[in-house]
């Protein structure tokens, strides 16, 4: 999909002003964090598992070439094929080539953020192939022609009335007077509508949560069972995934699986965890005849060995989105690309460029909740700071902002000057605000005072009070 991350400020304002979105986000704000907390409280080893998960991913990334080659050998040995793709265009062509080779007309899809990243649906449609999203959330947003707003709950920005409207508009063969006023009815309708598509599809496309070097397997984790119908019923299964999903063994995957569902939805384990290894075996009564893996790089290997390597540990659980005050306020669409929230603020500039996505690492309060809930301890705030430093070094931010920062740096690196300025400014503001104790308006601070009052300083700075206390020998 085309990124609109450069429009983050306008996107965010629109999100804040949208009452329906705010209602939907209100549900997410409380639900996910509470369920996660309950789940990890039931597992005393959770913290140790996080450390192990981090170590597994770090070990794999340090030897990524070895594990990818082993993985490829094992995929081939089990009868599958691996298609390496340097970028989105190569991945799209690989998928299209496989679809064309079998004369595919209908393609069912399980939820895959990598498929969103390479804008696969548009490419298939442009080439006369009909992609049908089968994850309920993905199906809803496909009907509404919009991108996902959350990596595990793509339609989290919608209320049920909007889903009902989308279904009435799309399912015109059904009785227009049917009741669609609760999630149960909507879920049943989607099940009924999508079932024939599962059966008619020529090709099924899924993503992968993990790739296993030991066995050449891919693993998907779902709750709906749509991914399994997608990959079991058609003649061809294509796994569209990216190369950092690899881990050495099934045991390593088990450790990460214990972290994944708890961090994502607060479940002990998702309903379906499926390990797929190659196509159907001789004698099997079902399963695809062909098994392909499209292995995407798209800028990820550039992150190895540098200050953003830790991002490649990401399990895509969305805990950082679910705990982010900025995401909770503006929603996922504001971020303007596939990956929203803190993980998106770090990953998007790497994948689409800092000139496009420079706003995202700035859209943070640096509260640190994202890092504290990350199952593999990715230092997200630190990496956002790295992006900010690069943005400054590359002169991508507006001149006023840059001059402001320079002025601040000049002040902050000269303690004597800073203390003198702080003392004068503090006293002046304290005096000016002595009546109300706060400011409703202040020159050059409209960004603050437009939406809240600025408390007036007491008059003296902490530094000067501390210095006085030291001089008096700590007695006061």
Partner 1 sequence: MSARDDILGGIRRALRRGPLPAETQAALAERVAAHRRNLIPARAASLAPAARIDLFVAMAEEVQTTVARVASNDQIPAEVARYLVAENLPAELVMAPDPGLAAIPWDSWPLLDIRRGRAEPGDAVSLTLCLAAVAETGTLMLVSGPDTPTTLNFLPDTHIVVVRAGQVVASYEDGWDLVRNRATGPLPNPPPLAGEGRVGAPAGWPRTVNLITGPSRTGDIEQRIQLGAHGPRRLHIVLVDECSGPEGFGNAPAVG
Residues 38-77 that bind partner 1 (CB under 8 A): 43-45, 48-49, 52, 56, 62-70, 72-77
Instruction: Name the residue nearer to partner 1 (CB basis): 242 or 348.
Output: 242
The answer to whether 187 and 230 are in contact (CB under 8 A) is no
Q: Which residues contact 158 (CB under 8 A, 6 or more apart)?
A: 20, 24, 140, 144
* Cβ-based neighbour number of residue 386 at 10 Å: 17
SS3 133: strand
Q: Convert residues 282-321 into a mask of x (bound to partner 1 by CB under 8 A) and - (unbound).
A: -xxxxx---------x---xxxxxx---------------
Looking at beta carbons only, is 16 or 159 nearer to partner 1? 159
Nearer of residues 56 and 343 to partner 1, judged by Cβ: 56
Q: By CB under 8 A, tell whether 85 contacts partner 1.
A: yes
Q: Using CB under 8 A, which of the segments 190-198, 343-351, 352-360, 404-412 binds partner 1?
A: 190-198
Of 393, 347, 396, 388, give the one whose Cα is nearest residue 370.
347
* Segment near partner 1 (CB under 8 A); pick from 178-186, 337-345, 370-378, 409-417: 178-186
Shortest Å distance, C-beta 102 to partner 1: 18
Nearer to partner 1, 108 or 461 (CB): 108
Supply the minimum distance, in Å, between the C-beta of residue 114 and partner 1. Answer: 15
Q: How deeply is 176 buried, as exposed, middle or buried, from its count of CB atoms within 10 A (0-12, 13-18, 19+)? A: exposed
279 is an interface residue for partner 1 by CB under 8 A: yes
Q: Which of 4, 130, 273, 449 binds partner 1 (CB under 8 A)?
A: 273
Burial of 473 (0-12, 13-18, 19+ CB in 10 A): exposed
List the one residue from 81, 130, 146, 160 that touches partner 1 (CB under 8 A): 160
Q: Which residues of 26-63 are buried (b: 16+ CB within 10 A; e: fewer)?
A: eebbeebbebbeebbeeeeebeebbebbbebbeebbee
Q: Which residues contact 462 (CB under 8 A, 6 or more apart)?
A: none
Among 11, 142, 206, 255, binds partner 1 (CB under 8 A): 255
Q: Which of 145, 184, 471, 475 binds partner 1 (CB under 8 A)?
A: 184
Of 100, 105, 281, 436, the residue at the interface with partner 1 (CB under 8 A) is: 281
3 state DSSP class of 154: coil
> Could you say which residues in the range 89-108 bind partner 1, by CB under 8 A?
90
250 near partner 1, rule: CB under 8 A: yes
Task: Using alpha carbons, select from 321, 315, 333 the residue that is nearest to residue 364.
Answer: 321
Site for partner 1 in 371-410 (CB under 8 A): none
Half-sphere exposure of 411 (CA within 13 A, CB side): 13
Looking only at Cα atoms, what is the longest distance across the chain?
90
Q: Residue 454: phi, psi to the nearest 5?
A: -100, 120
Does 249 sit near partner 1 (CB under 8 A)?
yes
Residue carrying the six token digits 């499926």 = 274
Shortest Å distance, C-beta 105 to partner 1: 19
Count of chain residues binding partner 1 (CB under 8 A):
107
Q: Is 214 in the site for partner 1 (CB under 8 A)?
A: yes
Q: How far apart are CA 293 and CA 143, in angstroms?
A: 27
Q: Does 270 bind partner 1 (CB under 8 A)?
A: yes
Q: Given candidates 10, 16, 169, 187, which one binds partner 1 under the rule CB under 8 A?
A: 187
Nearer to partner 1, 287 or 368 (CB): 287
* DSSP strands (E only) in 97-253: 106-109, 130-133, 203-206, 210-212, 217-222, 236-242, 246-247
CB closer to partner 1, 110 vs 426: 110
Which stretch in 270-278, 332-340, 446-454, 463-471 sits in contact with partner 1 by CB under 8 A?
270-278
| Interface region with partner 1, contact rule CB under 8 A, candidates 6-14, 225-233, 324-332, 404-412 | 225-233
How far is it, in rounded angstroms, from Cα 272 to Cα 228? 8
Report the site for partner 1 in 314-353 (rule: CB under 8 A): none
Give Cα separations from 320 to 131, 342, 381 (angstroms): 30, 6, 11
Count Cβ atoms below 10 Å from residue 398 Cβ, excluding itself: 9
Q: What share of the chain is helix, strand, coil (3-state, %, to 5)?
A: 55, 10, 35
- Choosing from 21, 24, 240, 315, the residue that interacts with partner 1 (CB under 8 A) is 24
**Does 215 sit near partner 1 (CB under 8 A)?**
yes
Answer for which of 13, 105, 178, 191 binds partner 1 (CB under 8 A) is: 191
Q: Which of 269, 401, 408, 431 binds partner 1 (CB under 8 A)?
A: 269
User: Of 117-146, which residues contact partner 1 (CB under 8 A)?
Assistant: 134-137, 140
Q: Which one among 104, 194, 239, 324 touches partner 1, defined by CB under 8 A?
A: 194
Q: Note whether 224 binds partner 1 by CB under 8 A.
A: yes
Torsion of CA 422, 424, 425, 428, to 10 degrees: 150
Residue closer to partner 1 (CB basis): 70 or 346: 70
CB nearer partner 1, residue 159 or residue 412: 159
């Amino acid at each position: 999909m085309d990124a609109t991350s450069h429009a983050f400020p306008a996107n965010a304002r629109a999100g804040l002003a949208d009452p329906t979105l705010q209602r939907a986000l209100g549900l997410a704000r409380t639900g996910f964090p509470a369920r996660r907390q309950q789940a990890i409280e039931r597992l005393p080893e959770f913290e140790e598992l996080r450390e192990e998960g981090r170590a597994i991913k770090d070990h794999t990334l340090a030897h990524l070439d070895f594990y990818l080659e082993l993985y490829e050998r094992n995929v081939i040995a089990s009868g599958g094929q691996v298609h390496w793709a340097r970028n989105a265009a190569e991945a799209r062509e690989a998928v299209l080539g496989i679809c064309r080779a079998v004369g595919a007309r209908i393609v069912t899809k399980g939820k895959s953020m990598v498929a969103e990243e390479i804008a696969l649906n548009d490419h298939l449609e442009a080439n006369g192939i009909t992609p049908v999203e089968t994850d309920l959330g993905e199906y809803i947003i496909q009907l509404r022609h919009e991108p996902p707003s959350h990596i595990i709950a793509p339609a989290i920005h919608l209320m049920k009335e909007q889903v009902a409207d989308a279904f009435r508009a799309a399912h015109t063969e059904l009785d227009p007077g049917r009741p669609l006023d609760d999630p149960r009815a909507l879920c049943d309708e989607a099940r009924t509508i999508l079932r024939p598509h599962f059966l008619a599809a020529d090709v099924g496309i899924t993503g992968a949560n993990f790739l296993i070097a030991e066995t050449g397997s891919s693993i998907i984790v779902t709750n709906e069972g749509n991914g399994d119908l997608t990959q079991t019923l058609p003649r061809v299964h294509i796994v569209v995934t990216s190369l950092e999903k690899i881990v050495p063994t099934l045991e390593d995957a088990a450790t990460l699986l214990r972290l994944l569902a708890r961090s994502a939805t607060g479940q002990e384990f998702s309903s379906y965890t499926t390990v797929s290894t190659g196509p159907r075996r001789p004698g099997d009564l079902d399963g695809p005849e062909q098994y392909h893996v499209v292995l995407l790089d798209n800028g990820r290997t550039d992150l190895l060995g540098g200050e953003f390597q830790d991002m490649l540990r990401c399990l895509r659980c969305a805990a950082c989105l679910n705990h982010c005050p900025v995401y909770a306020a503006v929603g996922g669409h504001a971020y303007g690309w596939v990956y929203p929230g803190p993980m998106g603020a770090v990953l998007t500039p790497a994948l689409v460029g800092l000139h496009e996505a420079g706003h995202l690492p700035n859209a943070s309060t640096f509260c640190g909740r994202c890092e504290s809930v990350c199952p593999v301890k990715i230092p997200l705030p630190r990496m956002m700071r790295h992006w900010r430093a690069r943005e400054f070094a590359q002169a991508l931010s507006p001149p006023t902002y840059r001059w402001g920062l320079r002025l601040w740096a000049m002040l902050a690196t000269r303690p004597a000057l800073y203390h003198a300025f702080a003392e004068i400014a503090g006293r002046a503001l304290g005096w000016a605000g002595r009546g109300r104790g706060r400011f409703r308006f202040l020159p050059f601070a409209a960004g603050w005072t437009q939406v809240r009052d600025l408390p007036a300083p007491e008059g003296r700075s902490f530094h000067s009070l501390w210095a006085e206390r030291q001089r008096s020998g700590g007695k006061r």
